[in-house]
Amino acid sequence: MPAPRPGTPPQPASPDLLRAVFRRHAAGVAVITARGESGPVGFTATSLTSVSADPPMLSFGVGTAASSWPAIAGTDHVGVHILGEHQQELAATFARSGADRFGAPTAWREGPEGVPVLDGVLAWLVCRVHARVPAGDHRIVLAEIVVGDPAGAGRPLLYHQGRFTALRD
């Protein structure tokens, strides 16, 4: 990795700086789902993080302006789905504002606790929401794992430089 260029001044903190830096950070892709008052909701997330092994907990971020936020804010349980490299279109659908995320061709079923569970993912979890922590224009959701299935086949989908991509050997 090249050293910082001499004579290039650091940039002050801004949303653009944050976005530019995190475009360089490769992240796994997940879809978070919940049961809303008007039906299932969900969104693509790259902020998924393991928090604790005992008890098993994770976290993810969600924007308070997101269409899924009211359901996430009011639910006790969420679904967490790890996407495979074959699911770029699914990731794009759940990232797209105004998309019919649960319409065809999305394959899903009602899972434990009534949480929408997506078919064909590498792994899924149903989690009990433990806390919603304010963080600027987002909330960090802390959730304890209740049940899941890690047995899906394939390789993980990644997000890097503003696009979905796959691992290279």
**Is 60 exceeded by the pLDDT of residue 57?**
yes
Q: Which backbone phi and psi does 157 adopt, to 5 degrees?
A: -85, 140
Dist. CA 145–CA 101, nearest whole Å: 24
- Please state, in angstroms and rounded to a whole number, the distance separating the CA atoms of residues 124 and 30: 9
The 10s digit of each residue's pLDDT in 138-149 is: 999 999 999 999
pLDDT above 80 (res 8): no
Residue 68 pLDDT exceeds 70: yes
Please state, in angstroms and rounded to a whole number, the distance separating the CA atoms of residues 114 and 128. 12
Question: Mean pLDDT of all residues in the chain?
Answer: 94
């569970």: which residue's tokens? 117
pLDDT of residue 9: 86
Tokens of 47: 């902020």
Angle CA 110–112–113, to nearest 5:
95
* pLDDT higher than threshold 70 for residue 12: yes
- What digits encode the pLDDT tens for the residues 13-49? 999 999 899 899 999 999 999 999 999 999 999 999 9
Cα gap 29→163, rounded to integer Å: 11
Distance (Å, whole) CA 28 – CA 128: 22
Give the pLDDT of residue 124: 98
When pLDDT is cut at 50, 70 and 90, the band that residue 2 belongs to is low
List pLDDT tens digits, range 125-164.
Answer: 999 999 999 999 999 999 999 999 999 999 999 999 999 9
How does pLDDT run across 93-108, given as a tens digit for each residue? 999 999 999 999 999 9
